[in-house]
Amino acid sequence: MYKNSYDLWNRAKCNDCFQFKNSILTPNASKETIQFDVYYMDLLKCVNYTNGSIPEKLCSVCLDDYTTLNNYYASISNENEKIGVCMDIVDMMNTTRRFWSTTCCKYRKHDEYIFLGTTVGIFVLTAVFYFLTICFGEKKVPAILQQSRLAESLNHVNRVPETESESES
């Protein structure tokens, strides 16, 4: 049981939550953990302060605190690994992201009028261009060239000397 607990402790990088002094683990929180807790508590205070308000207001008021916490987490973690920092911080950040995405992300609305207008405008201009090209463009009839054949060329060459020989006679 000790080996399983020890393995779990190491895989969860729990040592990263605490300070080492003289290569000995202390019960004091690490600098990263303390700073993360400060940003996390700032976000919780903001959420609790605006808890009675509608979620749209909560999201706009607390966006800076959430962004600060998320950016700090990204700076201390290596998100390419399964666990970049101690598991307690990862767990708190996952819970925060889940709360934020279910509460605030559904209220994000982006004005897509510019994109849609541009798309429709380009489509209309393209359709008008092709319509005008069909209606007013000159229709060129392809020039059909007579194909010269080798046999005809040889006959022509053979006829020329005969004509010259006839004129000599």
Which of the four pLDDT bands, split at 50, 70 and 90, describes residue 144?
A: confident
- Among residues 62, 67, 63, which one has the least CA distance to residue 45? 62
For residues 66 and 43, the answer to whether their CB atoms sit within 8 Å is yes
- Among residues 82, 73, 75, which one has the least CA distance to residue 11? 82
- Residue 157 lies inside a defined structural domain of this protein: no
Q: Crossing angle of helices 87-103/31-49, nearest 10°?
A: 20
- Residue 118 lies inside a defined structural domain of this protein: no
Measured CA to CA, the distance from residue 32 to residue 72 in angstroms comes to 9
For residues 37 and 29, the answer to whether their CB atoms sit within 8 Å is yes
The overall average pLDDT reported for the chain is 79
Question: pTM value?
Answer: 0.56
List 118's β-bridge partners, or say none. none
- Residue 116 lies inside a defined structural domain of this protein: no
- Residue 55 lies inside a defined structural domain of this protein: yes
Give me the number of domains the chain comprises. Answer: 1
Which of the four pLDDT bands, split at 50, 70 and 90, describes residue 116?
A: confident
- Residue 85 lies inside a defined structural domain of this protein: yes
- Residue 121 lies inside a defined structural domain of this protein: no
- Residue 93 lies inside a defined structural domain of this protein: yes
- Residue 131 lies inside a defined structural domain of this protein: no
Percent of the chain scoring above 70 in pLDDT: 74
Where helices occur in the chain by DSSP H, the ranges are 2-11, 31-49, 55-76, 87-103, 113-136, 150-168
Q: Which domain holds residue 8?
A: 2-107
